[in-house]
C-alpha cells in the first residue's frame, strides 16, 4: 500500500483531513441514526481493515505502519474508542469502563428500540459488526473487541434465529483472532 493511503487514514483519525467523500471524523460522530444506517461508505473509514473493501473502493487499507501508529499513540486509540461509542449507541449498547479492572459492553436503555433497526435475518449491520470487531483487534483495542463480543454473544443467545449461526461464527472467529 502506498504511503499516501496510510497517511490518509492517519490524517482522518487525527482530524486533519476528510475521508474520500469529504467528511471529517468529527462530523460523522454527530450523525443521527438514520444517516448512520443509510450511508454505506463511512464504516470503512471509522473501522479500517487490512483487506480491500468489497463495498467501498475508496476505503483505506491498513498496513503495518498504520497499525503500529494506532497501537503506539493513545490519541488515535481514544478517537477510535469515540467511533466505537457512536456505533454502540446506534446499536443500543454502551461501554462501561471499570478503570483498570476491565471494560464491559452492555445493552443500553434504548436497546429494545434500537434492535428493531438491525436485528433481522441477513441485516448488513452484521457485516459492520464483524468489521468493527476486526478493526478494534488490529488497532490495539483487543479488550474492547472482547467486551463487544461478550455483549453480542448475549444478544445472539436471545436472537439466534434472527442473527443466524453463520453470522455468529464470523463474530466468534473474529473475536478469537
pLDDT for 42-61, tens place per residue? Answer: 999 999 999 887 877 888 99
pLDDT confidence tier of residue 1, bands split at 50, 70 and 90 = very low
The fraction of the chain above a pLDDT of 90, given in percent, is 82
Tell me the CA distances in angstroms from 49 to 57, 60, 101, 130, 133, one per residue in order.
13, 8, 28, 11, 10
Domain count, the chain: 1
Q: Mean pLDDT throughout 19-46?
A: 96
| Domain span at 14 | 3-176
8 pLDDT higher than 80? yes
Q: What is the pLDDT of residue 5?
A: 57
79 pLDDT higher than 50? yes
The fraction of the chain above a pLDDT of 70, given in percent, is 94
pLDDT tens across 120-165, in order?
A: 999 999 999 999 999 999 999 999 999 999 999 999 999 999 999 9
3-state secondary structure of 106: strand
Task: Determine the Cα–Cα distance for residues 4 and 58; give it in Å rounded to an integer.
Answer: 13
pTM value is 0.94
Q: What is the pLDDT of residue 99?
A: 67
Which contacts qualify for 152-161: CB closer than 8 Å, 24 or more apart? Answer: 154/107, 155/107, 155/115, 155/119, 159/115, 159/119, 161/121
Amino acid at each position: 500500500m502506498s504511503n499516501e493511503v496510510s497517511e490518509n487514514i492517519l490524517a482522518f483519525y487525527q482530524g486533519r483531513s476528510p475521508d474520500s467523500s469529504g467528511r471529517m471524523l468529527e462530523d460523522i460522530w454527530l450523525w443521527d441514526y438514520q444517516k448512520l444506517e443509510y450511508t454505506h461508505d463511512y464504516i470503512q473509514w471509522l473501522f479500517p481493515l487490512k483487506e480491500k473493501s468489497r463495498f467501498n473502493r475508496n476505503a483505506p487499507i491498513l498496513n503495518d505502519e498504520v497499525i503500529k501508529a494506532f497501537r503506539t499513540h493513545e490519541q488515535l486509540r481514544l478517537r477510535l474508542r469515540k467511533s466505537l461509542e457512536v456505533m454502540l449507541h446506534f446499536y443500543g449498547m454502551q461501554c462501561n469502563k471499570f478503570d483498570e479492572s476491565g471494560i464491559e459492553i452492555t445493552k443500553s436503555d434504548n436497546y429494545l428500540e434500537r434492535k428493531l433497526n438491525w436485528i433481522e435475518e441477513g441485516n448488513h449491520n452484521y457485516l459492520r459488526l464483524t468489521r468493527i470487531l476486526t478493526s478494534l483487534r488490529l488497532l490495539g483495542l483487543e479488550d474492547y473487541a472482547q467486551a463487544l463480543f461478550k455483549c453480542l454473544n448475549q444478544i445472539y443467545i436471545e436472537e439466534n434465529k434472527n442473527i443466524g449461526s453463520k453470522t455468529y461464527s464470523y463474530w466468534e472467529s473474529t473475536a478469537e483472532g
